Structure 1
Amino acid sequence: MELMKLTSNVKQIQDDVLKEILTLNANTEYLRGYLHGAYDKELFKKNVPVVSYDDVKPYIERVANGEPSNVISGKPITRFLLSSGTSGGKQKIFPVNNKFFEDMAFIFALRSSLISKHIEGDEKGKVVMLFFAREQSITPCGLPISTSVTGYLLSDSFKNRPSNCFTSPDEVTLCPDLKQTMYCHLLCGLRQRDEVVAMAASFASSLVGAVTFFESYWKEICSNIRSGHVSEWITDLSCREAVTNILGGGNSELADNIEEECNKKSWKGIIPRLWPNVKFIQSIVTGQNSQYIPMLEFYSNKVHLFSPAYGSSETMFGVNVNPLCKPEDVSYTFMPNISYFEFILADEGNKGEIVDLVNVEIGSYYEPLITNYYGHYIFYWELKAKNISDTIKPDNKVLVECCCVMEESLSALYREIRSKDGSIGPLEIRVVQQGTFNSLMEFSISQGASPSQYKTPMCIKSSEALVVLDNNVLARFFSDKSRPF
């Protein structure tokens, strides 16, 4: 019912979400220069540029260093999330508040209801849930930095969840030692094997890793089950006590049954052999995790693999509304109440157009934009005076005109997109101090570039190199061209 309500009124929900976002954030330092305190949708689309992470990074770092949240957020920032770094090679931090974890809880609840609708009896059993809490770091202003999963596990949304269907107590899930956590997850899951109806992890790689870990520790786990005592190397006291309560004394019969399965020649189907009542395995198996599908199918003996949701450190996107589809056929339905979604057309020969969620077309390819995502063009200029002793004083009128002239010199496709729908923001020139490009060369050489072959790069992708440039910016200028080129 909730899913039908959300997907049958997408435009209105998306408009309401954007209005809420703008109402809360229009007076932040970041948006005030674009919206002047207003929160009109068309003004947002016209004035607010699509930016890369590096464009907003200085604002994020200012808050991390102790400045008020309203530099970039209308609500108090409570923590920072650390990205995996798999998309760009570098980990990033994103400011969030409790709304992010409320959205995660909503997605988890929605996917649970979808499973219950398609798989009978799942709500009556337990799940071996391989959640792992990582160590947090702290910003200079004292706010925590963690992965999104760790942030969720430490949030009120997790602590106050309506029911606990996991085989592991929270003390295991929250143990900061990953080896101890994995061992205790498997120990608790096997001790309650007859109640287990599902096995789950955030990513398929974690599930395969769990089986590999179990190959090395199954004898010790069986010994713990037989004796009713936890191995001495499990030193986290709260975790140890909670697992001891789960064991509830020795169980030789169960230990013998597990040993019998593990001693067989092949480990094909080891998951349903260890948990005979398992109905499905839940984990993301799309994208980079698709490589693990054959291994999971081998270990699961074709127990259904359910890829539940699509998300990132920036936002939760949506859910798989067809839990019984094959892993290779998985698609995700965007939830319009989570974020304001736009899509940039990525079809060959027809790129650049930005459309709302309700206007995407079947058969076309898009990149998702979350509220305000793109890279406007930025050029770094090092201006040199005619005389060594002279000081450069950038003239605003001249540099703005330079921005306009440069835009006119770019390709016809750029000019069309720039003037058509505002999906590319005004071209920017950042004037840097004299000697900055020499500093950039020195940095590149320190990173392994050859002194004899170094050339000033045409495009900067390294975040460290961008820091060298941005730390030396004297002034910034933008094209004021609003008319068609």
Structure 2
Amino acid sequence: MDAFNKVLEFLEEMTKNADEVQEKVLDEILSRNSGVEYLQRHGLNGQIERETFKKNMPVISYEDIMPDVTRVANGDKSQILCSQPISGFLMSSGTSAGKPKLIPTTEEESARRQFQFILVRAVMSKYIPDLDKGKRMYFLFTKPEVKTPGGLIARTVTTSFSKNSAPLKNGANFSSPIETILCPDSYQSMYSQMLCGLCLNKEVISAGAVLASGFIRAIRFLEKHWQLLCNDIRTGTLNPQITDPSVRDAVMRLLKPDQQLAEFIEEQCGKKESSWKGIINKLWPNTGTMSQYISILDYYCNGLPVVCKVYASSEGFFGVNLNPLSNPSEVSYTAIPTLCYFEFLPADRNNGVTNSISSPGPLDDKEQQKLVDLVDVKLGQEYEIVVTTYAGLYRYRVGDVLKVAGFKNKTPQFNFICRKNAVLSIDMEKTDEAELQSAVENATRHLVPFDAMLIDYTSFGDIASNPGHYVLYWELRQNGSTEIPPKVFEDCCLSIEESLNTFYCQGRFCDHSIAPLEIKIVKAGTFDELMDYSISLGASINQYKTPRCVTFAPIVEHLNSRVVSSYFSPTSPKPEPGH
């Protein structure tokens, strides 16, 4: 606890002196990398002053440095982006923009990222002091590593963590042996991790995954396979579908015949479907610890605290939730000034979509002058985050839009709003992820009287017809026996339309340039299949997020093949002044 207290004291100190810390971070990054080709190319010539940096260095996206990244990946050992040797690449999930990005990393950067886990543990210990006295059932998965033409390893962030984490390797406080996590077969890995968690159900005091979607997938897996898992627990034998020798050996060291536990699980899982409400605290009675998943998480967890710990990406670790027991819909992340140099590009909500600058690439001089430093952001304002890292990213647009929710001393705290590139558009209007999410939440209130909830959804801008229209694919879970009348779904369609921006409403009501919005109800399991498909293309279970807008033809075809019914908005929404 003394070590954790020192970490918290350090956090307090650096948030009080955020601007000084940020200036020091930028000075260190530019000093050590002063001779690299990228900085020389942009005329920095060893200068490390903040204003010179801002004047000379362009604000960029991944596409702008992809040629340099490709050179490194192909074996060029020149100091192109970073003075330290590039030790490998971290792969983005690929679910937001298609093909995964390769983010360069160094040995030092890997060690720096480990600080986030120490910081998270320190924060968690403040709110839940006994967290280390039991087991954590934390679902982690690894993807096969890829070797670039130059011989460097490319892996996901979570694969890197799983292979390098000392707590995971020694099994401390985790319900799953490391062998089950490192298993490359996602079915065998999920099955064995769930089985271990059930065997240790009374020792498990917290449960989770990297993303909420991953945890929900684990519970759905349990819904499908609980009978097989019960049989293993009853007989003390492992399902023959688990063929990985290291996994079998690790699980069999833990698995013993337990008739009583098997009967208990059968009793909880074998009841009518509605009994799955609160299944987490039923099966794991000692447990106690992503906005679109809050309702379904609450359904499974039945009031247990849902903890959102960190804000991070493949590009870096950016913030920590200093109030981990807050409502997930109200989570804010405090920026950590020591980990990278932050800048923020003001965003606005004109036309209902969060816009920074329309161009995804470098900004012109006038546009670059709009960027502000970490301590200069304004409460309530939305920004696109721009980072400069120790490992060779300079004024890099991460693509996330954040909103300033408050301050910890002099350091801002942010709500995550949306990914900047998730946009629906038919005519002149644009609808972003955050606006669509809010509209869907408003619409699902019509489902409450029928004891139904939205499991997952995505959208598609259908321009095959004239005029085009928005299509939303919904997967529902209905616990009640009352059939939902078509009018309810039509009301959902209209509710969504009425929640969208005035440009959309004008297109529907005045210009008739947009056809009525359509909701397509898909079969149960559709979004699990969508996740499986993405994983088959190389996505990681840990990092997978359901895309809120799809354009890839095979995905649209799959969704359409699973539709069981469809409904259209019955009338046009009327634009209102100031809507």
Q: Same fold (TM over 0.5)?
A: yes
The 3-state SS of whatever aligns with 1:305 is coil
Residue of structure 1 in register with 2:333 after alignment: 332
Could you tell me how far apart the structure 2 residues matched to 1:118 and 1:374 are? Answer: 34
Could you tell me how far apart the structure 2 residues matched to 1:185 and 1:95 are? Answer: 31
Letter in 2 for 1:314: E
Could you tell me how far apart the structure 2 residues matched to 1:101 and 1:190 are? Answer: 33
Residue of structure 2 in register with 1:40 after alignment: 49
Q: Percent identity?
A: 43
Query: 1:257 offset after TM fit, Å?
Result: 1.1
Matched-pair contact (CA < 8 Å) for 1:129–1:199: yes
Matched-pair contact (CA < 8 Å) for 1:345–1:366: yes
Could you tell me how far apart the structure 2 residues matched to 1:32 and 1:152 are? Answer: 33
Matched-pair contact (CA < 8 Å) for 2:87–2:152: yes
Matched-pair contact (CA < 8 Å) for 2:340–2:387: yes
Query: 1:88 offset after TM fit, Å?
Result: 2.8
Question: After alignment, is 113-122 or 71-80 more displaced?
Answer: 113-122
Coordinate RMSD, CA, aligned: 2.1
The 3-state SS of whatever aligns with 1:297 is helix
Q: How does 1:95-114 map to 2 (within 5 A)?
A: 95-114=104-123
Matched-pair contact (CA < 8 Å) for 1:139–1:145: yes
Residue of structure 2 in register with 1:83 after alignment: 92
Residue of structure 1 in register with 2:260 after alignment: 253
Matched-pair contact (CA < 8 Å) for 1:50–1:373: yes
Residue of structure 1 in register with 2:149 after alignment: 140
Could you tell me how far apart the structure 2 residues matched to 1:366 and 1:104 are? Answer: 24
Query: 1:89 offset after TM fit, Å?
Result: 3.3
Letter in 1 for 2:216: V
Matched-pair contact (CA < 8 Å) for 1:122–1:279: no
Letter in 2 for 1:262: C
1:20 to 10, 28, 39: 28
Could you tell me how far apart the structure 1 residues matched to 2:133 and 2:328 are? Answer: 25
Q: How does 1:362-381 map to 2 (within 5 A)?
A: 362-371=379-388, 372-373=394-395
Residue of structure 2 in register with 1:93 after alignment: 102
Question: After alignment, is 93-102 or 125-134 more displaced?
Answer: 93-102
Letter in 1 for 2:269: C
Residue of structure 1 in register with 2:124 after alignment: 115
Matched-pair contact (CA < 8 Å) for 2:171–2:177: no
Larger C-alpha radius of gyration, 1 or 2? 1
The 3-state SS of whatever aligns with 2:318 is strand
* Cα pair distance change 1:260/1:163, threshold 3 Å: closer
Could you tell me how far apart the structure 2 residues matched to 1:94 and 1:122 are? Answer: 33
- 1:343 pairs with 2:344: yes
1:54 to 52, 63, 71: 63
TM-score, normalised to structure 2's length?
A: 0.61
Query: 1:100 offset after TM fit, Å?
Result: 3.4
Matched-pair contact (CA < 8 Å) for 1:103–1:316: no
Q: Deviations over 1:76-99 (max 9, x none)?
A: 111111111233333211111133
The 3-state SS of whatever aligns with 1:145 is strand
Residue of structure 2 in register with 1:11 after alignment: 19
The structure where strand makes up a greater share of residues is 2
Matched-pair contact (CA < 8 Å) for 2:171–2:178: no
The 3-state SS of whatever aligns with 1:71 is coil
Could you tell me how far apart the structure 1 residues matched to 2:245 and 2:269 are? Answer: 29
Structure 2, unmatched stretches of 5+, are: 1-8, 357-366, 389-393, 398-579
Residue of structure 2 in register with 1:179 after alignment: 187
Matched-pair contact (CA < 8 Å) for 1:180–1:234: yes
* Cα pair distance change 1:306/1:159, threshold 3 Å: closer
TM-score, normalised to structure 1's length?
A: 0.72
Letter in 2 for 1:41: R
Residue of structure 2 in register with 1:381 after alignment: none
Matched-pair contact (CA < 8 Å) for 1:341–1:369: yes
Residue of structure 1 in register with 2:77 after alignment: 68
Matched-pair contact (CA < 8 Å) for 2:176–2:196: yes
Q: Deviations over 1:334-386 (max 9, x none)?
A: 101111101112246897411111111112211111123368xxxxxxxxxxx
Q: In the comparison of the two structures, how many residue pairs are matched? A: 366
Could you tell me how far apart the structure 2 residues matched to 1:103 and 1:161 are? Answer: 19
Could you tell me how far apart the structure 2 residues matched to 1:74 and 1:295 are? Answer: 47
Residue of structure 2 in register with 1:304 after alignment: 305
Could you tell me how far apart the structure 1 residues matched to 2:314 and 2:73 are? Answer: 17
